[in-house]
Amino acid sequence: MPAPDKSPQGVGPRRVDPADRAQLAESPVPMYRVAELMNGQYLRLLVLLAVITATALIGVANPFLLKAVIDDALPHDNDRLLVGAVVGMIGLAVIGAVAGVWQTWLANLIGQAVMHDLRVKVFANVQRQSMNFFKHTKTGEIQSRLVNDIAGLQTVFTSTATSIATNFTTAVAKAVAMVALDWRLSVVSMIILPPAFWVTRKVALLRRDITAERQRLLAQMNTEVVESMGVNGALLTKTLGIAEERAERFSRASQDLVGLDLRTQLAGRWRMGVMSVLFAAMPAIIYLAAGLGPSGMTLGTVVAFTTLQTQIFRPVMGLLNIGVDWVASLALMSRVFGYLDLVPEVAEPSEPIYLDPKQARGEVRFTKVGYRYPDAETNVLTDINLVVSPGRSLGIVGATGSGKSTLASMISRLCDPITGEITIDGIDLRRIASTNLAELVGVVSQETWLGHDTLRNNLLMAKPDASDEELWRVLRVARMDQVVTELPEGLDTMVGARGHRFSGGERQRVAVARTLLRNPRILVLDEATSALDSGTERDVQAALDELVTGRTTITIAHRLSAIRHADEIIVMVHGRIVERGDHQQLMAVGGIYRELVDAGSRDVVRRQSHQ
């Protein structure tokens, strides 16, 4: 949301951000959706409005007590009235302060409750999206919507909404009180206040425009510094010989900034001057009107009236900004609702069928499966027919872009086929809940993710109630127990962001251990060793050999040695299976697989000759 104007007197107009208008033009927000955000908060809202109204009335009472002191208590030595009025003033101040604290507490309670509910819903819905969504959406954009935009909406409900209600009730209460004190002076105020508001807005808008231009120049200078003074920028500057050009560009921006700073300071002084004149002129004109007007107007009335007149200026200026605040708020809601309304490409089944992992046989079957990415014109998979029997292994090979990773990802339902079906033990994957499917299918990929947490907690992600004995057992099977034993804090060692505490091979073995802990019946190995050197690959492959024992296994291999002993091997070209059989059969055929094996052998010889 736009930042509040910090100008003198705490008031200042703002203009609607063009980006907010564009957002609402693209994705309008109907009012019923705004009301839906407040579900469950209506009682608190009523109490909050009551407190705001009471606070406004309390603020109006003080000038009347002041009038009583000036007109009656002091001239007539009425000590009882004087004490009562003073006690009333102090009491009203105390009640107003307590009401203000209560109002703030209620507003924040409502705002926090609404934002918590919205934040959780958006987070849950984003998590339901397919991998295709995450591939095409910047992580920073997701973070911005979840954190910045929703935090901005919290300000809407805790500050903007209450500010509108407070300003409105206060302005109305002050206006009624002014009329009650003296209707003639109220007419004079109606003539004075509009020009005062207009002049104030005009000067403030001029200052805002200058400030916006100043911020643009500062951003430009900051970009210039970042691009020029970083290692890569400095290298580019020196190799291209553009140091003088960049210095000249920086100098021009700095010179423009000098002029804008002077204009900003002058505009600020003009604004302060205008505000000072207005706040001096308004009561002065009231004094003049009271002195030249009909007799009978008391001094207390004039003093109380000018007090109210000064106090009404701030809430009315606040109300003039309602349109800007509202547009900014709706723009934030539009962005948040955009993520809240995302329809998952891979939807949860409405009536899921539960497949007990302990009873599952682990048969995987592809029947006439085809798939196309949402933004693609051609299929990445076409007419795939496969059966992997329980406990058997399948190797998948093919050139980059042949569709082998997409095929493997469909087993864990990272995407759904557009034609055909994939089943586990005869049950369509689309009828199995995602949590149940994760119990059945384990995945070890080339990209191993470890959170910035302890090794223990990274392993417990697979099985939160696992004992230390179970953790050490899977680490031994994954050939990782010796490494962990030598760590200073053992299982409680922090692995660092993305697991940087460990080498690539160690991270892979941790992933193997984590998968073992879940103990899935079906295993997908997506080029799990392709990024490792030959020595590390042997260690990880030994751990994988332990992992695949007794499980239905689908392996995508860049190095063909990883699938040499698979029960069946398929060769994919442009999303189709062009060859299938075991290693011996495919070598005998002399087709694409044989060419891949021969090419791999030549690469090995070449690498060895250079060592």
Counting beta carbons within 10 angstroms of the beta carbon of residue 9, is it exposed (0 to 12), middle (13 to 18) or buried (19 or more)? middle
Contacts of 39 (CB under 8 A, 6+ apart): none
**How high is the pLDDT of residue 437?**
92
Can you give the three-state secondary structure of 127-196, one letter per residue? HCCCHHHHHHCCHHHHHHHHHHHHHHHHHHHHHHHHHHHHHHHHHHHHHHHHHHHCHHHHHHHHHHHHHH
Parallel, antiparallel, or unpaired: how do β-strands 568-573 and 552-556 relate?
unpaired
Task: Grade residue 607 by pLDDT with cuts at 50, 70 and 90.
Answer: very low
Nearest to 146 by CA among 168, 130, 124, 178: 124
Share of the chain above pLDDT 90, in %: 14
Provide the 10 A C-beta neighbour count for residue 605.
10
- 391-419: average pLDDT: 89
Reading the block at residue 90, the tokens are 């102090």
**What is the dihedral sign for C-alpha 483, 485, 491, 492?**
negative
Count how many Cα atoms sit within 13 Å of the Cα of residue 222 in the half-sphere of its side chain: 6
**What is the dihedral sign for C-alpha 62, 65, 71, 77?**
negative
Count how many Cα atoms sit within 13 Å of the Cα of residue 410 in the half-sphere of its side chain: 29
Whether 604 has a pLDDT exceeding 60, the answer reads no
- 560-587: average pLDDT: 89
- 299-323: average pLDDT: 76
Q: What angle do CA 177, 303, 320 make, to 5 degrees?
A: 50
**How high is the pLDDT of residue 546?**
72
> What per-residue string of b and e applies to 34-56 under the rule 16 or more CB within 10 Å gives b?
eeebeeebeeebeebeebbbbbb
Whether 406 has a pLDDT exceeding 70, the answer reads yes
Whether 605 has a pLDDT exceeding 60, the answer reads no
**How high is the pLDDT of residue 9?**
40
Whether 166 has a pLDDT exceeding 50, the answer reads yes
Share of the chain above pLDDT 70, in %: 80
Task: Grade residue 448 by pLDDT with cuts at 50, 70 and 90.
Answer: confident
Q: What would the pLDDT profile of 461-483 be if each residue is shown by its tens digit? A: 888 888 989 899 888 887 888 88
What pTM was estimated for this model as a whole? 0.62
Task: Grade residue 610 by pLDDT with cuts at 50, 70 and 90.
Answer: very low
Q: What would the pLDDT profile of 198-241 be if each residue is shown by its tens digit? A: 766 666 666 666 666 776 777 677 767 766 776 667 777 777 77
Beta sheet of 427-428, edge-to-edge order: 381-388, 364-371, 419-424, 427-428
**Residue with the larger pLDDT of the pair 437 and 57:** 437
**How high is the pLDDT of residue 294?**
63
Q: What would the pLDDT profile of 21-39 be if each residue is shown by its tens digit? A: 677 776 777 878 877 888 8
CA distances from 339 to 201, 273, 331, 408 (A): 37, 47, 13, 28
Report the C-alpha gap between 364 and 397 in whole angstroms. 18
Contacts of 457 (CB under 8 A, 6+ apart): 451
Tokens 């091979």, residue located: 505
**How high is the pLDDT of residue 187?**
81
**How high is the pLDDT of residue 606?**
46
The three-state secondary structure class of 358 is coil
Provide the 10 A C-beta neighbour count for residue 461.
14
Task: Grade residue 290 by pLDDT with cuts at 50, 70 and 90.
Answer: confident
In whole angstroms, how large is the CA radius of gyration of the chain?
A: 36
Contacts of 86 (CB under 8 A, 6+ apart): 69
**How high is the pLDDT of residue 420?**
95
Task: Grade residue 600 by pLDDT with cuts at 50, 70 and 90.
Answer: low
Report the C-alpha gap between 558 and 541 in whole angstroms. 13
The three-state secondary structure class of 579 is strand
**How high is the pLDDT of residue 361?**
92
**Residue with the larger pLDDT of the pair 576 and 16:** 576
Report the C-alpha gap between 545 and 540 in whole angstroms. 9
Report the C-alpha gap between 588 and 384 in whole angstroms. 24
Contacts of 401 (CB under 8 A, 6+ apart): 574
Task: Grade residue 275 by pLDDT with cuts at 50, 70 and 90.
Answer: low
Q: What is the mean pLDDT of the chain?
A: 79
